């Protein structure tokens, strides 16, 4: 079955990447067909290595396991990119039957090579390996690591790992640029493999020592590497996994391990490796976990506002089911906007301590120095609690206070919803509108920097009051347009004036977006003339506009389509 088809390429890449891939057909070079893979170089913004996998696991999606990898930024995110499309189309452009023949030839070559190697003597194989070691630095380093590990040479393994983590060979002016970062990450990955091999060969204690050293070296190196693709982040995560496996196998002194874990997590290495002390619970045992908790608590008490200290304490407290300890961590560093009070309230809710949760949320509101800066999620939480407890008047009072501090359309809507539920909206509305009227001339915080008063009256669909407010206090053109759309049934003459005023400057501009706006205004104006019983006036206006604007062909076409 041939899985490499245009349909499968388009399905994997999507229409956009597929179309873009068509423009890279001349950029494909060095195509090499293997038994199940095709590799090549595609010259784009950079020189990218591309590999199509013709047969992979699965294939239930109808594409028979067709997949690919590319080291371009988009491809490194796991996407089937335009470079893979270009390679696939290049292979498909070969004469019919060419791909199966090339795959069979590659398979035959592989079998011939295996048979030839099997027939070599030990001396001949050694000579071949020596030749390759002399030509391939990466192979030489991997074999040196294996040799040092096999003979128990910890110093030798350590030296090789230091070489693998050295940025020197990849750095230009002391920094590893993006183009070289992947090669460095691949080399650093060899160090991780070497440390993992130590555990597999029965030397987990050495693996622990070298993993910790490698974490330190990698953390120092990453400061000088453009790791935009996250390659070193993956190496760091792999290194943490290797260290954990070694600890589970070697069972080091639990107290020493606890001290190292706390120092590591609270130090400068955790951002790269992501070590989680709770993963080490088996290796630590009861004695180690007891010390870990004590050391974490001591560190937190010494720096209650430190993010790492707080996070570690919170993780340990949650794992131990100690809700009070979790609350104590948050309570020691309360945010001024009430967010921390909300976090505590939610923790207490989860623990079933709802009365305490409500008390903390209400305390958050009482502690607020500036209600305008409050975390709106705290206000929402309290109003929801009040609503479920049938404390509707309390919800209204809180929404009223919040609106008084914020005075936005959103807070007006929230006050309206609460007051309607409590059946007291008319009185609350008058008070809210009085505040907004007092604001006119002093601040503008509505849509498009227009009046919030106009926004609120628009939202209430109070056409008469809104028109009066807009005329007296001013409004943004977008607000005038919204008002005209709302009012043209009851105030067609006024709405017509708005449409014509807004249309005038657009007649002096060009662009399809402008034409769309202009035609929309003309449709509104036509509807107003119809309601006023003056359709002939609109016809004359539209005819005159067509005469003046006749060179704007897209506008003429759009007006024709809309019956103007």
What pLDDT, in 10s, does the model give residues 160-178? 889 889 998 888 788 988 8
First to last CA, the chain: 58
Instruction: Please give the structure tokens belonging to residue 438.
Output: 């007092």
Query: Is a pLDDT exceeding 90 seen at residue 2?
Result: no
H-type alpha helices, 390-476: 392-406, 409-421, 425-439, 452-460, 463-473
Asked if the model's pLDDT at residue 442 lies above 60, the reply is no
**pLDDT of the residue at 444:** 54
pLDDT for position 44: 78
Whether the per-residue pLDDT at 346 is higher than 70: the answer is yes
pLDDT digits (tens, 9 = 90+) for 86-121: 999 999 988 888 888 888 888 888 888 889 989 989
Residue 446 confidence class, pLDDT cut points 50, 70, 90: low
Backbone angles phi, psi at 314, to 5 degrees: -65, -45
| pLDDT at residue number 128 | 87
What is the tens place of the pLDDT at every residue in 14-32? 988 999 899 899 889 989 9
Residue-level pLDDT at 197: 85
3-state secondary structure of 40: strand
> Percent of the chain having pLDDT more than 70?
95
CB 334 within 8 A of CB 341: yes
CA–CA separation, 273 vs 212, rounded Å?
11
At 56, the pLDDT band (50, 70, 90 cuts) reads low
pLDDT of res. 63: 52
Q: Average pLDDT for residues 454-460, to the nearest whole number?
A: 94
Q: What is the structure's pLDDT at 341?
A: 96
**Helix extents (H) in 266-369:** 270-273, 281-302, 307-319, 323-331, 339-350, 354-366
Mean of the pLDDT values across residues 460-486? 92
Residue 144 clears pLDDT 80, i.e. is over it: no
Locus of tokens 């060969």: 201
In this predicted model, which residue has the larger pLDDT, 56 or 431? 431
Q: What confidence tier does 409 reach under pLDDT thresholds 50, 70, 90? A: very high
pTM more than 0.85: no
Alpha-carbon distance of 228 to 390, in angstroms, equals 53
Q: How confident is the model at residue 61 (pLDDT cuts 50, 70, 90)?
A: very low
Question: Lowest-pLDDT range, 132-136, 337-341, 407-411, 500-504?
Answer: 132-136
Domain ranges of the chain: 6-118, 488-564
Residue 385 · residue 358 · CB < 8 Å: yes
d(C-alpha 219, C-alpha 163), whole Å: 15
Please give the pLDDT value at position 299: 93
Answer for the pair 4, 52: CB distance below 8 angstroms, yes or no: yes
pLDDT of residue 102: 87
Residue where the block lists tokens 């006023």:
532
Structure confidence at residue 60 (pLDDT): 40
Q: Is the dihedral of CA 277, 278, 281, 286 positive or negative?
A: positive
């Amino acid at each position: 079955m041939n899985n490499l088809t245009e349909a499968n390429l388009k399905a994997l890449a999507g229409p956009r990447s597929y179309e873009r891939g068509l423009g890279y057909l001349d950029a494909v070079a060095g195509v090499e067909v293997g038994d199940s893979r095709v590799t090549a170089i595609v010259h784009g913004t950079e020189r990218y290595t591309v590999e199509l996998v013709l047969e992979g696991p699965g294939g239930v999606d109808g594409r028979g396991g067709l997949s690919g990898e590319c080291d371009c930024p988009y491809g490194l995110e796991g996407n089937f990119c335009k470079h893979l499309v270009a390679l696939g189309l290049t292979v498909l452009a070969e004469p019919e039957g060419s791909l199966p023949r090339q795959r069979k030839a590659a398979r035959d070559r592989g079998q011939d090579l295996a048979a030839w190697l099997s027939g070599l003597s030990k001396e001949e194989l050694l000579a071949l390996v020596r030749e390759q070691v002399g030509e391939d630095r990466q192979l030489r380093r991997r074999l040196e690591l294996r040799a040092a590990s096999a003979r128990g040479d910890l110093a030798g393994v350590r030296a090789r790992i230091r070489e693998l983590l050295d940025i020197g060979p990849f750095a230009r002016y002391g920094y590893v640029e993006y183009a070289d970062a992947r090669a460095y990450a691949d080399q650093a990955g060899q160090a991780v493999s070497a440390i993992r091999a130590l555990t597999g060969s029965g030397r987990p204690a050495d693996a622990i020592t070298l993993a910790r050293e490698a974490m330190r070296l990698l953390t120092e190196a990453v400061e000088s590497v453009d790791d935009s693709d996250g390659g070193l982040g993956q190496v760091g995560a792999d290194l943490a996994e290797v260290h954990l496996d070694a600890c589970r196998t070697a069972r080091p002194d639990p107290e020493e391990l606890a001290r190292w874990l706390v120092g590591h997590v609270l130090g400068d290495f955790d951002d790269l490796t992501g070590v989680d002390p709770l993963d080490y619970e088996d290796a630590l045992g009861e004695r180690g976990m007891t010390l870990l908790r004590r050391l974490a608590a001591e560190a937190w008490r010494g720096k209650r506002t430190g993010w790492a200290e707080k996070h570690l304490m919170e993780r340990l407290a949650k794992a131990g089911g100690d809700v009070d300890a979790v609350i104590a961590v948050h309570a020691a560093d309360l945010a001024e906007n009430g967010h921390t009070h909300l976090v505590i309230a939610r923790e207490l809710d989860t623990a079933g301590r709802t009365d305490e949760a409500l008390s903390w949320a209400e305390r958050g509101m009482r502690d607020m120095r500036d209600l305008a800066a409050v975390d709106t999620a705290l206000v929402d939480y309290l109003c929801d609690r009040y609503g479920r407890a049938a404390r509707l008047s309390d919800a209204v009072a809180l929404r009223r206070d919040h609106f008084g501090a914020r005075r936005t359309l959103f807070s007006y809507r929230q006050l309206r919803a609460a007051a309607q539920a409590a059946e007291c909206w008319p009185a609350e509305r008058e008070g809210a509108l009085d505040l907004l009227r007092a604001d006119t001339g002093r601040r503008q915080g509505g849509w498009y920097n227009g009046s919030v008063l106009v926004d609120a009256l628009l939202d209430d669909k109070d056409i008469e009051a809104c028109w009066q407010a807009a005329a007296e206090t001013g409004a943004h053109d977008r607000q005038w347009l919204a008002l005209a759309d709302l009012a043209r049934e009851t105030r067609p003459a006024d709405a017509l004036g708005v449409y014509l005023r807004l249309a005038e400057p657009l007649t002096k501009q060009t662009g399809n977006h402008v034409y769309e706006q202009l035609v929309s205004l003309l449709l509104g104006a036509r509807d107003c003339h119809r309601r006023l019983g003056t359709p002939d006036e609109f016809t004359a206006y539209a005819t005159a506009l067509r005469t003046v604007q006749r060179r704007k062909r897209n506008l003429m076409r759009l007006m024709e389509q809309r019956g103007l």
